[in-house]
Structure 1
């Protein structure tokens, strides 16, 4: 058995146990191609390593195939014709990908009348509403063997913040590895003929519409900074130029949240607080789940603090899908130095609203945790707001 995690020239492919199908990042995310690890392939590596422990004598590099191209090449077609298990990384974005839909169709055609649940082993990358799952996918009963797995409700992307042995992520990897190794050993698929993907139907042709997620950024700018905040390199000419983390002044928070929101399957709308404050406070913005991202330093500015206080005031009776999240970098020297003042400003302005939140959302929205936890925390707040908005629309 031989497969690959391809890079550069297309490798030869013989008989991988599994084919990892995932939605490639949009071209807009390619502006900073070296800034973040490819978490899809991190999961692929972890999974092949775990399978290798279940199948002694097999090399991890020979066990699976992860397609990295944005269009079908010969190695992808060959891997689909030879693999025994198809592992789709389910997300709203996955079901919008034409190439993923073609990969699904190619493997589905090859499985034929066999038990589909033995050869399709889906992993939830980001949660998907049941109503948004394409009909051709619903024919596969894959819920029962995944019952209780943390990725179903949390999404693997959020779980990857903790990859330690015994973590929820580690347990998902173990479960998937065991399922793949058992299926390949006990129910091997006969090799097929590489399909011409473009001749196949897209299994996801009834793709769901992306839900708009409004992200409002409240942060100082180079022209307006609270007294005592001299680290102007964190800020840009507008509020969306804010780069909060001390180790990455060249990476704005707007770029981070766009990447996370897009991978969760939302259509992110990122705006500066000062540009929308009147409409936001008046409640006249078009309805959409909304997250106000607040630099804790901005709350030392009395004007901004008063506006935030009005935004979270219960008397304003704002929809529950309009919420907020504090962002701070504990590694920043000035933030550590003024820590007491910054926390006092947060407690005075937002303390009551934080206390009213569900515990998991409260922790995510409070600004606790290092940069590494920001994607997970933002995902929690975003999913909370979007879930409430969807519930309102279903009434």
Structure 2
């Protein structure tokens, strides 16, 4: 009995993805006497810091059919690009690739031309599959499409399953096949934090700081790595080239980024506003206007010193960003008390900024880099 791997982008209505996976698995299993669809696998993975499911690579090397829930988010997801690359590299040139089945999860899920695989779109509606799953009024359309897709999975798995291969051992080294269609936009990640030595002037617990501003890790001990590294990886998941910088020449950097239609995010330590030199720099940014620049202010709920002084720290932030606070345009994001909250907030900020650039028709500046083309693995 054929088994399938369902590939989807984390954060793209995950509960409905799970519902669809269960429904499709049930339909495929019902078409078989051995119920082999129970071996099928849901390959939705979270942020870059999340460990891959132990058997995901094994399933990518052994599944018969690859079903992809495509959307703009899907084609910006590096994990999905690597999953697609691993599966399709199992085929030789000229092989029948009916086992690759991309499905329009959203209505705007256009396929990159270089993939040369037809997109499966629910018939008789302009909606994507996601809407069919979500809306009760479209239940009959959903069940009809589900049955058609299940029969297609079974037919492909029986007539032209993907050749088996050895599991990949290093997922991070697999090329993201989607990167060939993505303009490499740059996001400037400004670290508004200080060194351990500087922070010794204003607080007692220095465990969150290092020798340089870029070492700041506000979610220790649960997340020991620096916030700068975490932010850069999250940007990479959205096909954005993260460039980390300290507050040096930040005002000029923001102006250059605006001129080049690039994204700017400031990651700001609550405590930095207690140091006059840094507070003046941030206040100057605020005086000139943040524009599309967004400020994220994380602090772990496990950081007792910060939690105990939150009222004073909040006042310091408000005093520093007076204009932005008064305008209340969603440019200041505070109370990010967990790493997961930070991930979700930053991902949303980056996606909104990226979409804003595309809606405006702005092209990346000359310093943002060319279209990236990476080598494609070939199967055995």
TM-score (norm 1): 0.62
- Choose 86-95 or 333-342, whichever is displaced more: 86-95
CA distance in 1, matches of 2:79, 2:304: 44
CA distance in 1, matches of 2:178, 2:185: 17
CA distance in 2, matches of 1:194, 1:148: 25
Task: Indicate how the Cα distance of structure 1 residues 180 and 265 shifts in structure 2: closer, same or farther if over 3 A, else same.
Answer: farther
CA distance in 2, matches of 1:205, 1:251: 26
| 1:236 aligned to which of 202, 210, 222 | 210
- Choose 227-236 or 323-332, whichever is displaced more: 323-332
CA distance in 2, matches of 1:271, 1:128: 35
Residue-by-residue CA offset, 1:191-223 (whole Å, 9 max, x unaligned)? 2154599xxxx9869522321111010112111
Q: How many Å apart are 1:75 and its aligned residue?
A: 7.0
In the TM superposition, what are the counterparts of 1:61-210 in structure 2 within 5 Å?
A: 61-64=38-41, 76=60, 79=63, 82-83=64-65, 85-87=67-69, 90-94=74-78, 97=81, 100=84, 103=87, 110=96, 119-121=101-103, 133-134=112-113, 136=115, 139-140=118-119, 142=121, 147=128, 149=130, 183-185=149-151, 188-189=154-155, 190-192=158-160, 194=162, 206-210=180-184
CA distance in 2, matches of 1:372, 1:74: 28
Residues 47 and 177 in structure 1, CA contact (< 8 A), matched pair in contact too: no
Residue-by-residue CA offset, 1:24-50 (whole Å, 9 max, x unaligned)? xxxxxxxxxxxxxx999x999887566
Q: Which secondary structure does the structure 2 equivalent of 1:365 belong to?
A: strand
Q: How many Å apart are 1:229 and its aligned residue?
A: 1.1
| 2:316 aligned to which of 326, 329, 345 | 345
Task: Indicate how the Cα distance of structure 1 residues 357 and 392 shifts in structure 2: closer, same or farther if over 3 A, else same.
Answer: farther
Residue-by-residue CA offset, 1:321-347 (whole Å, 9 max, x unaligned)? 333222222331101111110111122
Q: Does 1:388 align with 2:344?
A: no
In the TM superposition, what are the counterparts of 1:309-388 in structure 2 within 5 Å?
A: 309-313=283-287, 316=288, 320-350=291-321, 352-354=323-325, 356=327, 358=329, 361-362=330-331, 365-388=333-356
Residue-by-residue CA offset, 1:98-152 (whole Å, 9 max, x unaligned)? 773574595997466x9x9xx432558xx9996x9445468525485753848xx
Q: Does 1:280 align with 2:253?
A: yes
**Structure 1 residue ranges without an equivalent (≥5):** 2-14, 24-37, 151-165, 169-174
CA distance in 1, matches of 2:222, 2:117: 43
Q: Which secondary structure does the structure 2 equivalent of 1:236 belong to?
A: coil
Tell me the C-alpha RMSD between the 2 structures: 4.9
Q: Which secondary structure does the structure 1 equivalent of 2:197 belong to?
A: coil
Q: Which secondary structure does the structure 2 equivalent of 1:259 belong to?
A: helix
CA distance in 1, matches of 2:24, 2:129: 21
Q: Which secondary structure does the structure 2 equivalent of 1:298 belong to?
A: helix
Q: How many Å apart are 1:259 and its aligned residue?
A: 1.9
Q: How many Å apart are 1:242 and its aligned residue?
A: 0.4
How many residue pairs match? The answer is 320
- Choose 235-244 or 97-106, whichever is displaced more: 97-106
Residue-by-residue CA offset, 1:65-85 (whole Å, 9 max, x unaligned)? 75989xxx9975653xx3374
**Structure 2 residue ranges without an equivalent (≥5):** 45-51, 135-140, 166-175, 365-380
Task: Indicate how the Cα distance of structure 1 residues 95 and 122 shifts in structure 2: closer, same or farther if over 3 A, else same.
Answer: farther
**Higher RCO (Cα < 8 Å, 6 or more apart):** 2
Residue-by-residue CA offset, 1:344-382 (whole Å, 9 max, x unaligned)? 112222254145355xx45x7233453321111011222
CA distance in 2, matches of 1:205, 1:328: 33
Residues 202 and 274 in structure 2, CA contact (< 8 A), matched pair in contact too: no
